[in-house]
Amino acid sequence: MPGEIPYAAPMISNERLAGREHCQPQQSYRPGFMQTENTVHSLQMESGTKTVVLALQSNWRGHFARISVVEKDWRNSIIVPLSVLEKFRQCVESITTSGSAAKGMIEGEGKAIFVRIENDDLLLGEKTATRSDSIIIPRAAIGDFKGMCDKLLEVSLSGGSQRGTNQWKSRLDEKVFYSEKLPVGAKTIQLMLKENSLGRFVRLVEGDGFRFTTIMIPAQQLEKFRAMLDEAICVSRKTP
């Protein structure tokens, strides 16, 4: 159809999507990961028993939009990189106005975002080399969802909401002076010396390629931190 974005990869089967959406709701709920993220702006709406949440967020890897569907005790989410958020919004518009057979795909930053109509609902899927997730926006909520996408895109282009502007800009303006990685089994610890508008600091990131935990140490506290680390090393050597 005119305006339809080319579809170049197979979608997950209806049976598998239905199973993921209704039988394994906890699969995408990762509170440990989400604690390391800064939320710049968020929007939400109710649709029956479901809550649809759009959040503009950032972590040590960059900026992105998290789209979540929450119902009772489960949550499912997909993540759209900020670099393809505008293309994603255009894809959603094209699919929702092209009919029930329309499907589309957006690629960026190592992942593919799938968009299609499924039983008159809007199905959104995310797939990387290691994982895949999907969410369903109910038919009655599609119009409001597109409006929320427009608002989030507007906020991203303006540099963040009034409440989060300083945090947003400070993340964008970060300079990296030093970075080193330490493999530890299946995990990696990365140490970075960085600077933003709030000052200079060390960021320590522990991750396994799926979940990440971050702490930040202000530069003025590094000597004390090193003294604590030296003491811990001495105790470790002396303790059998």
User: CB neighbours (10 Å) of residue 82?
Assistant: 19
Q: What is the predicted pLDDT for the residue at 92?
A: 92
- In the DSSP assignment, the letter for residue 209 is S
pLDDT tens for the chain, 240 residues long, are 444 444 444 444 444 444 444 433 333 333 334 446 788 888 989 988 889 999 988 877 778 899 999 988 788 899 998 888 999 999 999 998 876 667 889 888 888 999 999 888 999 999 888 878 899 999 999 999 999 999 888 888 776 544 444 444 444 467 889 989 898 888 889 898 988 777 888 988 887 665 667 788 888 999 999 999 999 999 999 887
How far, rounded to the nearest angstrom, does the alpha carbon of residue 128 sit from its chain's CA centroid? Answer: 13
**Residue 55 is encoded by which pair of tokens?**
């959040």
Give dist(CA 34, CA 70) in Å, integer.
Answer: 15
- Rounded to two decimals, the pTM is 0.55
Q: What is the predicted pLDDT for the residue at 4?
A: 45
The residue among 81, 59, 55 whose CA lies nearest residue 68 is 55
Q: What is the predicted pLDDT for the residue at 36?
A: 60
With both helix axes pointing from N to C terminus, report the angle between 142-158 and 85-98 in degrees, rounded to the nearest 10.
Answer: 160
The two counts, helices (H) then strands (E), for the chain are 6, 12
Q: What is the predicted pLDDT for the residue at 88?
A: 93
How far, rounded to the nearest angstrom, does the alpha carbon of residue 209 sit from its chain's CA centroid? Answer: 13
Q: Tell me the fold of 173-238.
A: Secreted effector protein pipB2 fold (3.30.2450)
Q: What is the predicted pLDDT for the residue at 20?
A: 45
Q: Where are the domains of the chain?
A: 14-167, 173-238
Q: What is the predicted pLDDT for the residue at 100?
A: 65
Q: Are 68 and 52 in contact (CB under 8 A)?
A: yes
Domain 14-167 has CATH 3.30.2450.30: yes
Q: What is the predicted pLDDT for the residue at 7?
A: 41
Domains 14-167 and 173-238 share a fold: yes
Q: What is the predicted pLDDT for the residue at 52?
A: 92
